[in-house]
Structure 1
Amino acid sequence: MTKDKYEKIDENVKPQTQDQQPGVEAEMSPLPIYDDEMYKGSGKLAGKKALITGGDSGIGRAVAVAFAKEGADVAIAYLSPEEDVDADKTVELIEKYGGKAFAKRIDISEEENCETLVEAVVEQFGGLDVLVNNAGKQFPQQSLLDISGDQLRETFETNFFGLFYLTRAALPHLKEGSSIVNTSSVTAYNGSPGLLDYSATKGAITAFTRSLALNLADQKIRVNAVAPGPIWTPLIPATFDAQTVKKHGDNTPMKRRGEPAENAPAYVFLASNDSSYMTGQTIHVDGGDFVGS
């Protein structure tokens, strides 16, 4: 049986770590696949204005590229150092595919920063149609006793509070036909013994997605989520030890990790009119890791 291109990339992953979150994509080996050359845009997001948090790298970058291919203008928010080669590259990619790009370095865990971010995007683009809440952190601990109050707060402040604050700030600018897409995780469904606080934030995101979908249904604003499994993003070497990184994704039914580009079409689908009769739902992109309702 011939292996697909993603399996071949997976075989070449070397043991590696990075010493800061959210990690640097440019330092990964091999580089994640963020632009699937087989994916051709067809104007599904033509004229749309999108904001993606954690958009400089990983899944966020892949979504930004796919959105630009589909005709959207794309703003990315990121937390990396001020001289961020990842953010610069993502802006270059958005513009390469014809979209207007805007990047802002900002910490969305601060409530006032979320207001500032949305105002900046609306000023740049003249509106906002699609919000992708994708930014996240994770800090593995083998015991609940090892999770400090500071770690718990940092994880929730970025993964959930930031999502909540940003969605609230964006809502006055959204209108009928707008879409919110949240990044949940397979850990919200399968659990994770080493990521207790992280998986709890993703469970909160899933519940929030369902509840907000019901709350906004009358306004015809759809709210959905994507729950990725083990995906080759900077967060992986920035989180785990080298040997865990090497084996990441091996225990899925498909026996490999996924690539960011394999997630992007799900976000396009949920952001576009293709999913016009879907709200409160979650798409699982996880190599078969979770099979259930």
Structure 2
Amino acid sequence: MTTITDDEELFRHAARSRGRVVLITGGAAGPARHAAWTFAKNGANVVIGDIFAPGAQDIVDTINRLPPGSGKAFWKRCDVTSWEDQVALFECAMTRFGGVDIVIAGARVGETQSFGTLEVSETDGKLLRPHLKTLSVNLTGAIYTTQLALHYLPKTRNQTEPLKYVVLLGFLASWTAHPDQEIFVTSQHGLLGFARSVQPTLTLNGIRIATVQSTCPPGHGDTDLTFRKTANAMFFCATNPDPNANGSVWALLQNGTIQRMEEAQERGSLGGPPAYTDL
């Protein structure tokens, strides 16, 4: 299947999420927040790691008010650029719910500094090192999350049907170049390359991986609708039993459809850059 136009198709295998434990970084806001709610609504227990306390507590409270049969949630402060924070998050999930089945690397930030502008120290007038928080959160953080998934996911063996998945939240710019978003786009190219490179290692350990790419980077035209659709695509990837989907890349296009990018690229139907490049 190359393109999904019907949202119901994204929930075709929703029953597979019931009783699972889903760990989500960046779950206090954006697509990752919607993903947390979606998994919990379909019966999964959710562990959220984020540094934004109000947003994290709000979505946890919202989930824990869902009707009987839904999953439960808790959150822990986690800076994804800190290895120690991420280890503590996974350990909390193991203690609270007894394991982890699905990992969503959903923490990301947009461009934090123009690449063409360097700051000067007020004390000695020397050029200051550029801010690379975008790279640290979007790429290093996702690598940490995936490395820990490789360690912790095989420890959970209480399901009759194995379901071990890592889903990375990316951006369509990983296929193209975009001026004025140099470091953000670099993080997305790196994320796609990492997902492709790590797939064989994860597969040998019984873990599948997929990447879901949104159209808009953080702060550039995001809407609640794009958040929800991106989250639904992540849910679809994590519950899809098709072995051929392992390593796949799915993108939310501007027309609202979900497209498998490898097949689109092979057919030469990969579209142009998102409209935000004109901002």
Q: TM-score, normalised by structure 1?
A: 0.71
Counterpart in the other structure of 2:251: 284
DSSP 3-state at the match of 2:191: helix
- Quick one: percent identity of the two aligned structures? 25
The CA deviation string for residues 82-114 of structure 1, in whole angstroms up to 9 with x for no partner, is 4x1x22221123221521101111211011111
DSSP 3-state at the match of 1:184: strand
C-alpha distance 66-257 of structure 1, shift in aligned 2 (>3 A): closer
Deviation at 1:205, TM superposition (A): 0.8
Question: How far, CA to CA, are the matches of 1:275 and 1:55 in structure 2?
Answer: 26
Question: How far, CA to CA, are the matches of 2:42 and 2:171 in structure 1?
Answer: 25
Counterpart in the other structure of 1:76: 48
Counterpart in the other structure of 1:113: 85
DSSP 3-state at the match of 2:246: coil
Matches within 5 A, 1:24-43: 42-43=14-15
Aligned residues: 234
Question: How far, CA to CA, are the matches of 1:286 and 1:40 in structure 2?
Answer: 20
Deviation at 1:288, TM superposition (A): 5.1
Q: Which amino acid aligns with 2:63?
A: I
| Alpha-carbon contact 1:258-1:286 (below 8 Å) kept | no
Q: Are 1:161 and 2:119 matched, yes or no?
A: no
The CA deviation string for residues 129-176 of structure 1, in whole angstroms up to 9 with x for no partner, is 000001011226555354974412x22221111111122123222135
Structure 1 segments unaligned to the other structure (5+ residues):
1-35, 237-244, 250-255
Q: Superposition RMSD on alpha carbons, in Å?
A: 2.8
DSSP 3-state at the match of 2:100: coil
| Alpha-carbon contact 2:113-2:130 (below 8 Å) kept | no
Q: Are 1:216 and 2:202 matched, yes or no?
A: yes
Question: How far, CA to CA, are the matches of 1:197 and 1:287 in structure 2?
Answer: 23
Question: How far, CA to CA, are the matches of 1:132 and 1:79 in structure 2?
Answer: 16
Structure 2 segments unaligned to the other structure (5+ residues):
1-7, 120-127, 155-161, 266-279
Question: How far, CA to CA, are the matches of 1:131 and 1:228 in structure 2?
Answer: 18
Question: How far, CA to CA, are the matches of 2:167 and 2:12 in structure 1?
Answer: 21
Q: TM-score, normalised by structure 2?
A: 0.75
Matches within 5 A, 1:183-262: 183-230=169-216, 235-236=218-219, 248=221, 258-262=225-229
The CA deviation string for residues 191-231 of structure 1, in whole angstroms up to 9 with x for no partner, is 22111001111111111111111222222210110010127
